[in-house]
Amino acid sequence: MIENKQLIICRCEEVTYEQLQSTARQHTCSARELKLRTRAGMGFCGGRTCRIALDAIMDSFIPDENKAVIPLKYQPPIRPVSFGTVGGRHD
Cα(91)–Cα(18) distance, integer angstroms: 45
Q: What is the pLDDT of residues 51-68, one digit of tens each?
A: 888 888 878 877 776 655
Give this prediction's pTM: 0.65
**Domains of the chain, start order:** 8-87 (1.10.10.1100)
Cα(91)–Cα(81) distance, integer angstroms: 14
Q: Which helix (H) or strand (E) holds 16?
A: strand 15-16
Helix (H, G, I), strand (E, B) or coil at 15: strand
What does R_g of the chain's alpha carbons equal in angstroms?
16
Is-contact 16 2, C-beta < 8 A?
A: no
Tell me the pLDDT of the chain averaged across its residues. 79
Quick one: pLDDT at residue 38?
Answer: 92
